Structure 1
Amino acid sequence: MDDQPTRSPEDRSRDLSQPLSALSPTESLKATSDYLRGTLAESLIEPLSGGISADDQSLLKFHGIYQEDDRDLRDERRRQKLEPAYEFLVRLRLPGGICRPSQWLVLDDLARTYANGTLRLTTRQTFQFHGILKKDLKRTIQGIDQALIDSIGACGDVVRGVLCASLPERSRLHAEMYELAKRTSEHLLPKTRAYHEIWLNETRVAGSPAEEEPLLGRTYLPRKFKIAFAAPPSNDVDIYTHDLGFIAIAEGDRLAGFDIVVGGGMGRADNDPSTFPRLADLIGFCRPDEVIALAEAVVSIQRDYGDRVTRKHARMKYTIDDRGVDWFKGELERRLGRTLEAPRPFVFTANTDPFGWTEGEDGRLHLTLFIENGRVKGRMMEGLRAIAAIHQGDFRLTANQNLIVANIPAAERPRIEALLAEYGLYGNDDGPSLLRRNAMACVALPTCSLAMAESERYLPEFITRLDGILAEYGLGEVPIILRMTGCPNGCARPYVAEIGFSGRGPGTYNLYLGGGFHGQRLNRLFLENADEETIVATLTPIFRRFATERGAAEHFGDFLIRVGIVEPVTSGRCFAR
C-alpha cells in the first residue's frame, strides 16, 4: 500500500496541461526547477547579499524555509542605503507533533546558537526557528537532521505536516492515530533528493536514472495541501479548516475507521470576494487500512484539477466549490475503484486544550502547559530545557500552540512538579484567564513579509483589556474562542473563531463574529478597518448583553446568532456578503 503508484500518461500530461506561458509564474518556475533545485546552492554561497534571488525564495519554501527581514529595521536601513536585514524562518516537519526530549534539547541548542533564542510552536504542531542568517542556514538544517527531524515539505506546494489530535487521556487511540498520521506524511512527501544534496551534502550521481515524482509530478501541487486527524469529542486540530480531514470513529477501545471531510481552507484576500475561507464537507467513511490510499487519491485529484493559472484560486477548496462535492466524491470513488461507505455519527464539543494533569488509560501522566501564542523564550525556555534533560516520555505539540509533557511515569511527577515550581511555569496562582488560554495569534510583525498589522506582540495586551471588561460582567469563567492574524491569510484560523481579527494596517483590524465554539461554523465580518477603541466600544455592549441574556451553557458565537447580532455564514461563498 505504501508504494507510490504508477501514473498514467493522462495523469503525467496534466503536469503541463497548459503551455508554460499560460501558467502562473510559480508553476513555470516549478516546471523548470530541476525538481526544486533551481540555483539554491549558488544563492547560498553568494557573498554580496544576505538574501537570495526571488526565484530561489519560491523554491526555498519547499525545503521548509522562508526568507524574511526585520521590518522594525527597514526604514533605518533604507535611509542608510543598506539592503533589508534579511533573515530566515525554518519550519520543521513534525507529523503528529511528537518530539523526544533528546530532540527538544537539540532544537533548543540550535535556537540559541543560530536563531533568535526562541522556539515558536505553530498552529500545525511543529517548531519554527526565526532570525537565522543565510550563512547559518546549512548548519541549522544539518543540526536538525542530526536530531532525526527534517523540514522537507513544511512549506511550499506540497502536503504540509500532518496534524493529529493530542488526546492525552486516550492513550491507545492516540497511538493508532499518530502512527497513521506519520505514515501518511511520509508517504506523500516529495521524492526529489534536492533537499539532501543542497543541505546535507549528498552527491548527485552522474548517469543515474532520470528523477521523477511519481505522485506529485514535476510541477508538484497547485498550492499547499493540509491534512489532519481528529478524535471526537475534541476538535483540537480544527478539522474543517483542512483540505482533507480524518475524523476518528471508535467502537469501545477499537478504532473502527474515519469519517472523511474535504475542501476546507482559511486563506483569503481582502476586497476580493472570489477568495474566501471554506469549511470541509463530510463525504464518507473509510477503514484504517484504507487511509493512505484514500489520501493519495484525494491529493491526485487536486494535482490534476487544481487551478495552475490563477494562484489565488489554486487551493482544493476552490476546486471542490467550483465543481461540486458530488463531482469530487464521484471522482474519488472512480480512482479508488469502490463506493465510499456512509459517514458514521460523531459529536464535537470543543477545540481547546485540557490544561493541567491528565492520566492516560495506561496509567502514564500528561501535563498540558499554556504557551502564549506558542512562543517559548526566557525563563520558560530554561524550564523546558531542564524538564527535557530528565523527562522519560515525550513532548506533544498541540494545534493550539500549547505543549504537553507527555507519557510521564507516575513516579516522576514530583520531579517534574519541582521544576515547574522552580521556573514558574504555572504562571500566577490563578493561571491565565480562559480568554487568554483559548486565544491564538500568528507571528506577524516584525518578520512576516505579509503582515499588515501586529498580532503576536499585540494580542497579549489586548486580551488584558478585554479580560477586564469580561470580569466586570461576570464572564471571566466563560470560555470564548478568540484568534488574531496580522493579514487575511488566516494562519491562526481566525475565521472559525467566535471572535476573529485580521490585520488591515498599523493598529487596524477587521472584526469577525459568530464562529462556532468547536470550529463547526465560519464567522462573519462585523467591523472593517477598526482601531482598538472602536473594537472595544463595539464589543462592550455585546458582552453586556451576553452576560444578561445568554442561555445555560450557551456559547458566545451561538448567542450572537440566536439574538440576531450576526447572521450565520452557511457557506464559504457567503462569507464576504
Structure 2
Amino acid sequence: MQALAGKQLSAGLSRPSRGQLVITSVATPSKAPTSRLAKRSKVEIIKENSDYLRHPLMEELVNDKTYITEDSVQLMKFHGSYQQDHREKRSFGSGKAYMFMMRTRQPSGIVPNRLYLVMDELADKFGNGTLRLTTRQAYQLHAVLKHDLKTVFSTVIKNMGSTLGACGDVNRNVMGPAAPYLNKPEYVHAQKLANDFADLLAPQSGAYYDVWLDGEKFVSVYKEDPKVTADRAFNGYGTNFENSPEPIYGAQFLPRKFKIAVTVPGDNSVDLFTNDLGVIVISDDKGEVKGYNLVVGGGMGRTHRDEDTFPRLADPLGYVDKDDIFHAVKAVVATQRDYGRRDNRKQARLKYLLSEWGVERFRSVVEQYMGKKFSEFVPMPTWEYKDYLGWGEQGNGKLFYGIYIQNGRIKGEQKKALRAVIEKFELPVTLTPHQNIILRDVDPANKDEIMAMLRAGGVQELVDWDSLDRMSMACPALPLCGLAVTEAERSLPDINKRIRAMLTKVGLPEDQFLHVRMTGCPNGCARPYMAELGFVGDGPNSYQIWLGGNSNQTRLAELYADRVKVKDLESFLEPIFAAWLAKRRPNEGFGDWTARTGFAAVKQLAATTAPTLAAAAVKNASGNGNGNGAAPAGSDKQLTAR
C-alpha cells in the first residue's frame, strides 16, 4: 500500500512537512478542480435530479411491480435499503426473485428494548425469520418484499428506530465502544458522541418522512443536543450550503459513503483505523473530557485486478479541543464533499484523497474549513481488541451479558430464547462491532433465571464455542448479496472446524486461536484485510488468502495467494501452520509471525514442510494413528497467550 501511495504521489504531488504548514489567515477553501466537476458518474446525476432523494422512488414504491428501477435503487440506499435478488429462489422463466434488505441506524449499537422486540417481530412477519447483526453495530432485515416496505419502514420509525443514512453516499452508522461501563465517564461520553455525530450528519431535507410516512409529521420523544443543532447551522468557513434543504450535503450529497468510529484510548473494539474518520476521546486524570485525537483516511473496499483500489489504514490528523469537535467533523466531511472524486466511484472514498494528497495537505484544507489549526496528536496507550463477551459489571449495580452470535445471525430457537429474556426482563441491548449482542441493565437477582432461560433455548455459553469462532467474522454473501461471488457466512463455520483440525494436527494447543475473517467479494464488509487469516472471495468456492494482520487490528494484511479452492485448504494451510509452530517466537501470534517472517520466506518454509506432512499423512492412513481428529471446542478459559 505504501508503494502504491508513493506511485500516486509521484504524479506531480508532494507531501510538505508539518513545519511548512502556516496558516496566517482563514479563508473559505477553494472548491474542487473544474476537471473533476466536468465529468460525473451516473449516480451523481441521479442524486442531483432526485429532489433530495424523493423521485422517482416515491412513485415506484406504489406501482405494482416487484422491483424498482436503477435510479430508485440508488436513492433507496440513502433510505437504508438495498434491492436484492435471491439467487436460490429464481424460478425458470420468471426472472429474478426480487426482495429488499433493510438496515437500521444504531449509533454505538444501542437498541432500546421496544425496538428490539419490534425488529424481532418484523423479521418473522415480513423477513426471512432471522435478524442479522452487522459489523457496524446495526441490524439487517433480509427478504422484505417491495409491497411490505412501507409497513416495515414506518413501523421501525414509530418504534424508536431509523434507517436513514444506514446506506448511501452519506455518513453511515457511527460506531462506538459497546461496553456499557456507566462508571467510566469516557465510555459514556464516547457513546453519546457517536449519537451526536449521527444527528449532526443525518440528512435534513425531510424526504425520508415524505417517502415512508407520506409526509406525516412524526413527533419523537428524542431531542438532539442543542449544540449539535447550532454547530450544524454554523457556516463561518464554507462548510455549509446556504439556504439548502441539505446544509452539509447539498443536492449531490457525498461522493461515496463516509464511516465514523468513536472510541477511548486503548479500546480498539471498533476497528478504528478502517474508518474514514476515527475519533478518540481524550480525558484528564479525573475522567473529564478535554478533547479528541482524530485519524482519517481508512477504508476496506477494493476491486479484484484493479491495483488503483486498495484497503488503507487511517492516518493521525491531529487533536481538537472538546468545544471544536463538531466543527472539525464538518470540516473533514466538507473537504471530502468538495474534493473527493465524483467521476469514478471506485476512487471516490476519502482514503484515495488522502493517498493522493498526503495527510499534510489534507490537514491544511481541513483547517481552513474549521477556522483553526489542529494541535499535536496526544500520546495514547497501546491498542487492544476487546469483545465484551460474558458477564460484566456496569458500575451502577447492574450487570451486562455479552452473547456470542455466530456470524451475527440470530435465528431459530436462539432467536426465541433471546426474545423471551429481553421481553420478560425489559432489557435494552447493544450490538457489537463483532456481530455479537450484549444484554444490558440486568438485575443481579435475575442472572440465574436469565441463564436458565438461555440454556433452555439453546443459546450456548462461551465455554461451548471454539475460540476460532469467537474471533471470526463473515459477511452474509450468498444467496442475497448482489456483489458476492462465493460463500462467506454459510461456509465459515465449517472452514473454522477444518482450521481447528489443521492446528491440532500440526501440534498447536487446542485453545490456540487466530483472527479469521471471510467475505464473498473484495468489498471488505467483514474487514478481512485486518485479519491474521483473511478469505476474500474471488470466484465460486475460491478465495484470495490475506495474511499478516494482527490481533489488535492495527496492521493491514497483505495478499498472499489468489484463487485458493475450498477443497485445497488443507494442503495449502497446513504447511504454513506447521512452519508457524516450528519458527515462531514464544507466544508469537500467526499474523505477527507471517508479517515478521515475510511472505517469500513463509512460502519457502511451507514448501519445505509440505513433504513432511504428506509423509505423515500416508503413515497415518496406513494405521499408525489418524492425526486429524477434530479438536475439542475452545473454551472461555484463558486463550493461548499471543
How far is the alpha carbon of 1:506 from its aligned partner? Answer: 0.9
Correspondence for 2:6:
none
Correspondence for 2:190:
177
Correspondence for 2:254:
221
Which of 52, 74, 98 is the equivalent residue of 1:86? 98
Give the TM-score normalised by structure 2.
0.82
Which of 333, 347, 350 is the equivalent residue of 2:367? 333
* 2:321 pairs with 1:287: yes
Correspondence for 1:37:
54
Which of 97, 111, 133 is the equivalent residue of 1:99? 111
Between 1:373-382 and 1:354-363, the stretch displaced more is 354-363
- What does 1:518-537 correspond to in 2, within 5 Å? 518-537=552-571
Mark the CA change 1:197 to 1:331 in structure 2 (over 3 Å): closer, same or farther.
same
Partners of 2:415 and 2:264 in 1: CA distance: 30
How far is the alpha carbon of 1:311 from its aligned partner? Answer: 1.1
Give the TM-score normalised by structure 1.
0.91
Partners of 1:286 and 1:433 in 2: CA distance: 42
Q: Structure 1, residues 256-296: CA drift from partner, whole Å, max 9, x if none?
A: 33211000000000000000000000121223332222111
Mark the CA change 1:113 to 1:210 in structure 2 (over 3 Å): closer, same or farther.
farther
* 2:66 pairs with 1:50: yes
- Do the aligned residues in 2 keep the contact of 1:91 with 1:127 (CA within 8 Å)? yes
Q: Secondary structure at the match of 2:167?
A: coil
- Do the aligned residues in 1 keep the contact of 2:36 with 2:342 (CA within 8 Å)? no
Between 1:471-480 and 1:180-189, the stretch displaced more is 471-480
Mark the CA change 1:567 to 1:412 in structure 2 (over 3 Å): closer, same or farther.
farther
Correspondence for 2:268:
235
Amino acid at match of 1:464: K
- Do the aligned residues in 1 keep the contact of 2:187 with 2:263 (CA within 8 Å)? no
Amino acid at match of 1:89: M
Corresponding residue pairs, total: 550
- Do the aligned residues in 1 keep the contact of 2:273 with 2:554 (CA within 8 Å)? yes
- Do the aligned residues in 2 keep the contact of 1:69 with 1:85 (CA within 8 Å)? yes
Correspondence for 2:500:
467
Correspondence for 2:480:
447
Amino acid at match of 2:482: S
Amino acid at match of 2:379: P
- Do the aligned residues in 1 keep the contact of 2:301 with 2:310 (CA within 8 Å)? yes
How far is the alpha carbon of 1:224 from its aligned partner? Answer: 0.1
Which of 139, 151, 156 is the equivalent residue of 1:127? 139
How far is the alpha carbon of 1:100 from its aligned partner? Answer: 1.5
- Do the aligned residues in 1 keep the contact of 2:107 with 2:198 (CA within 8 Å)? yes
Mark the CA change 1:46 to 1:316 in structure 2 (over 3 Å): closer, same or farther.
same
Partners of 1:218 and 1:17 in 2: CA distance: 18
Which of 194, 206, 213 is the equivalent residue of 1:200? 213
How far is the alpha carbon of 1:211 from its aligned partner? Answer: 5.5
Q: Structure 1, residues 382-414: CA drift from partner, whole Å, max 9, x if none?
A: 011011112344201000101111222222222
Which of 161, 165, 187 is the equivalent residue of 2:200? 187
Partners of 1:441 and 1:17 in 2: CA distance: 41
Partners of 1:64 and 1:333 in 2: CA distance: 32
* 2:88 pairs with 1:68: no
How far is the alpha carbon of 1:535 from its aligned partner? Answer: 3.0
Correspondence for 2:331:
297
- Do the aligned residues in 1 keep the contact of 2:28 with 2:368 (CA within 8 Å)? no
Partners of 2:112 and 2:374 in 1: CA distance: 37
Amino acid at match of 2:250: G
- Do the aligned residues in 2 keep the contact of 1:524 with 1:566 (CA within 8 Å)? no
- Do the aligned residues in 1 keep the contact of 2:178 with 2:430 (CA within 8 Å)? yes
Partners of 2:515 and 2:382 in 1: CA distance: 15
- What does 1:10-21 correspond to in 2, within 5 Å? none
Mark the CA change 1:43 to 1:225 in structure 2 (over 3 Å): closer, same or farther.
same
Amino acid at match of 1:314: A
- What does 1:491-506 correspond to in 2, within 5 Å? 491-506=525-540
- What does 1:107-506 correspond to in 2, within 5 Å? 107-169=119-181, 171-172=183-184, 173-202=186-215, 212-252=245-285, 253-427=287-461, 430-472=463-505, 473-506=507-540
Q: Structure 1, residues 420-453: CA drift from partner, whole Å, max 9, x if none?
A: 22212125x8321111101000010000000001
Amino acid at match of 2:595: I
Partners of 1:58 and 1:240 in 2: CA distance: 28
- Do the aligned residues in 1 keep the contact of 2:29 with 2:365 (CA within 8 Å)? no
Partners of 1:210 and 1:278 in 2: CA distance: 36
Correspondence for 1:3:
none
Q: Secondary structure at the match of 1:430?
A: helix
Mark the CA change 1:389 to 1:219 in structure 2 (over 3 Å): closer, same or farther.
same
Between 1:119-128 and 1:473-482, the stretch displaced more is 473-482
Q: Structure 1, residues 94-137: CA drift from partner, whole Å, max 9, x if none?
A: 11110112211111011111111110000010001000000000
Q: Return 5+ residue gaps in structure 1 as ranges.
A: 1-7, 569-577
- Do the aligned residues in 2 keep the contact of 1:561 with 1:567 (CA within 8 Å)? no
Q: Secondary structure at the match of 1:396?
A: strand
How far is the alpha carbon of 1:41 from its aligned partner? Answer: 1.6
Between 1:414-423 and 1:379-388, the stretch displaced more is 414-423
Amino acid at match of 2:108: G
How far is the alpha carbon of 1:21 from its aligned partner? Answer: 6.7
Mark the CA change 1:211 to 1:346 in structure 2 (over 3 Å): closer, same or farther.
closer
How far is the alpha carbon of 1:312 from its aligned partner? Answer: 0.6
Amino acid at match of 1:51: Y
Between 1:171-180 and 1:217-226, the stretch displaced more is 171-180
Between 1:463-472 and 1:247-256, the stretch displaced more is 247-256
- Do the aligned residues in 2 keep the contact of 1:510 with 1:528 (CA within 8 Å)? yes
How far is the alpha carbon of 1:484 from its aligned partner? Answer: 0.4
Work out which of the two has the higher radius of gyration on C-alpha atoms and give 1 or 2.
2
Between 1:556-565 and 1:60-69, the stretch displaced more is 556-565
Q: Secondary structure at the match of 1:71?
A: coil
Mark the CA change 1:151 to 1:377 in structure 2 (over 3 Å): closer, same or farther.
same
Amino acid at match of 1:347: P
Q: Secondary structure at the match of 2:473?
A: strand
- Do the aligned residues in 2 keep the contact of 1:12 with 1:217 (CA within 8 Å)? no
- Do the aligned residues in 2 keep the contact of 1:560 with 1:566 (CA within 8 Å)? no
Partners of 1:519 and 1:273 in 2: CA distance: 23
Partners of 2:30 and 2:66 in 1: CA distance: 38
Correspondence for 2:40:
23
Partners of 2:396 and 2:543 in 1: CA distance: 46
- Do the aligned residues in 1 keep the contact of 2:531 with 2:548 (CA within 8 Å)? yes
- Do the aligned residues in 1 keep the contact of 2:126 with 2:152 (CA within 8 Å)? yes
- Do the aligned residues in 2 keep the contact of 1:392 with 1:409 (CA within 8 Å)? no
Partners of 2:393 and 2:321 in 1: CA distance: 28
Q: Secondary structure at the match of 2:535?
A: strand
Partners of 2:492 and 2:35 in 1: CA distance: 44
Between 1:36-45 and 1:302-311, the stretch displaced more is 36-45
Amino acid at match of 1:256: K
